[in-house]
Structure 1
Amino acid sequence: MDSWNQFLKNAKESGMFQGGSALGKRHAIGKKQASDSTETIVRFMRFDTDDLTVLKKLLDTHPVILNGGTIELREMPVS
């Protein structure tokens, strides 16, 4: 838990962290079947930066990475 507390402290201090959450119950709207992303995505965190190098340096200290896991980064373009 200390690694999470330290990471969240660093993330907040970075100015890039925009929050995040666990994912709640899924509701599908429409007639077609769609794969359930909650089967593979467990939680998300939002970061706002134009400097991917700085973000990657911060994420190198993420507890998932420190314990051998993988983090997927996704751009969220303004639309």
Structure 2
Amino acid sequence: VRKRLEAARSMPASLLVNLYAARERLQEQLTLELDGALLITPTVAHVGAAARTAADGRRSVRSNQPRHAAPDHAR
């Protein structure tokens, strides 16, 4: 998050105004599309798995374990 905020420092004010306006339009559009429904999206520390990893069950499990966690067989 910090990197994104720091990168925004060098953006011209006109670009930021356009981005905020677009954000507001998108939020309004999403509100209409959801029609009262609730949208919950995850926030994760890493990006989603590549297709190859997602297709391989064992690899997917390893990829999604926290780095400090012991493997299942060691618990």
TM-score, normalising length: structure 2 = 0.33
Higher relative contact order (CA 8 A, sep 6+): 1
TM (norm. structure 1) is 0.32
Greater Rg, structure 1 or structure 2?
A: 2
